[in-house]
Chain A
Amino acid sequence: MGVILLSALTLALAVFALTQRRLLWGVIGVGAHSLALAGVYLFLAAPDVALTQAAVGFGLVTFIYLLALRRTGKLIVVAEEMPPLLYQDGQRVAGLEWEILSQFGRHVHQDVQVLWVPRKEIPRLLRAGEANVGAGGYLPRSEEAVLLTRPLLSTRMVTVRCTPGPLGAVEGDRGEDYLPPDGLTYEDHGELASALGAGEVGGAVADLLHVRQWVLSGEIQPVQTTEEQETSFRFAVAPGEEDISRALDAFLAQLEETGELARLVRRHVG
């Protein structure tokens, strides 16, 4: 009787492990399955095998799976906060890029974790292997040796002037390329906007989406805008993670084909 009950439990736990969408629960299911299997061996008068099964299946193998999960089970995204593409909304992350990344995470069975970092840190973290994807209104620069996905949303670099004075840009951002030698750099777009509002700098080089945000929120009143080169927001992928880059590219292409991307852009950006 005990054997039959434990065998049924073993079977149920195996099905449980197979049907989990979250890998962590799958690993826990496999561990519990090993333990139940050890029980079956015990009832079948094979305590030697039960001991080995419990120590190896439940202890060591579960641990090795957990180690593998630490790297493969989580998609680490480093990003600069940038509404409406990617931003913290209370306890949760929101935005256009978040919707794409979280859908992609479900697609590849990985949890997505977003870490907020200054813009200039993104390529360094990706190259060091500390993160998988760079996001948050990522504008590619030629000297950053990272993989890039297909364009997500096209935009344009613009120079806005409010008062006479030096120009400002965000350190590491595409805007730094257009900065004259006397230009000032800031850690993120929020600091740049407040410097612009305080009159510390007379103008700024940034992408159209940021400038639009600043104008709409009344933070700056531009006197003159000069349009620079056209560019587009993309995701940056760590070099050496060609698999992620290819999968993300395919996922974006699929979103584009089904019109889902256009719908998301309309909803978040307008």
Chain B
Amino acid sequence: MRVLAALSLLGLMALLALGVSGVFPRPPVPPTEDVAAEWGAENVVAAIVLGVRLWDTLFEILIYAMTMVGVKLGLRLLRWEHAVPPVRETPLLRRSADLLLGPIVVFALYIAVSGHLGPGGGFPAGAILGTALLLLALAKGVERLSAEIHEPSLEWVEYGAIVAILAVAGGLLVMGHRGSGYLIAVNVLIALEVGIGAWVVLHRFASSRGEV
């Protein structure tokens, strides 16, 4: 077993050395400025991730959604879930949640809609949205928050967001239109999908592994 591991490690290192030494021909890379200008974006990364390499991104989004569904189903199969006792409200946490929730959500929205201009985009915006929900859950208790935000319908919103991303991307691909409006729309949809997915995963973990 050790010999096998050492051999495969050596093989990988040899491949890496070959790649670095320039034995393999490299495909020509178009100048990034041109790509960004073509998509009406200042952030080259956004233009590449959501434009040129949309195919990769779509699968990343699908993997994310599948992880969420997997956590949901897997934890249900394990039968670890039990009702979480209501959490005592602590004034400190409640107040800081009240104070911080607005800025966090606004920042997440800002990051989502300005993703094509500066650093940001749908994924970080969604993760920040997830932390905002987490903060609320810490202040209010998981089950109460889940009921207040109508979690089952939110899940459908998430699946809807995935379908919308696919539809928008496919439609634009057919029409051949490229522009910043498309990038903003897809970033917001991705933020929605990632944020809701993060909440669903956190909720499942919380109700299976102990209270928050």
What residues make up the interface of A, taking CB atoms closer than 8 Å to B? 47-48, 50-52, 55-56, 59-60, 63-64, 67-68, 70-72, 129
Contact = CB atoms under 8 A, between A and B. Distances in A.
Contacts of B127: 52, 55-56, 59-60
A55 B131 contact: yes
B119 A68 contact: no
Contacts of B211: 70
Contacts of A52: 123-124, 127
Given A48-B120, A51-B119, A129-B82, A60 B131 contact: yes
Contacts of A129: 82
Contact of A48 (B119, B128, B130, B131): B119
A39 to B, nearest CB: 14
Given A51-B119, A55-B124, A56-B127, A67 B212 contact: yes
Interface residues of B, number: 24
B209 A59 contact: no
A59 B130 contact: yes
Given A60-B131, A68-B209, A51 B120 contact: yes
A54 to B, nearest CB: 8
A64 B75 CA distance: 14
A266 to B, nearest CB: 39
Considering the complex of A and B, which 7 residue pairs feature the smallest CB-CB distances, nearest first?
Answer: A47-B119, A55-B127, A70-B210, A51-B124, A59-B131, A52-B124, A67-B209
Interface of B: 43, 45, 82, 111, 118-121, 123-124, 127-128, 130-131, 134, 198, 201-202, 205-206, 209-212
Contact of A64 (B111, B121, B205): B205
Given A60-B198, A64-B205, A68-B209, A51 B134 contact: no
A67 B101 CA distance: 22
Contacts of B205: 64, 67-68
A144 B124 CA distance: 52
Contacts of B118: 47
A72 B80 CA distance: 13
Contacts, number: 55
B209 A60 contact: no
Contacts of A55: 124, 127-128, 130-131
A247 B211 CA distance: 26
Contacts of B202: 60, 63-64, 67
A249 B174 CA distance: 66
Contacts of A70: 209-211
Contacts of A63: 134, 202
A67 B210 contact: yes
Nearest to A128: B82
B51 to A, nearest CB: 15
A47 B45 CA distance: 10
A51 B198 CA distance: 16
A187 B79 CA distance: 34
Nearest to A53: B124
Contacts of A60: 127, 130-131, 134, 198, 202
Contacts of B120: 47-48, 51
B3 to A, nearest CB: 27
A59 B212 contact: no
Given A47-B118, A48-B121, 4 more contacts: A48-B120, A52-B123, A60-B198, A63-B134
Contacts of B134: 59-60, 63
Contacts of A56: 127
A63 B134 CA distance: 9
Nearest to A51: B124
Nearest to A48: B119
A143 B42 CA distance: 72
14 contacts: A47-B118, A48-B45, A48-B120, A52-B127, A55-B127, A55-B128, A56-B127, A67-B209, A68-B209, A70-B209, A70-B210, A70-B211, A71-B209, A71-B210
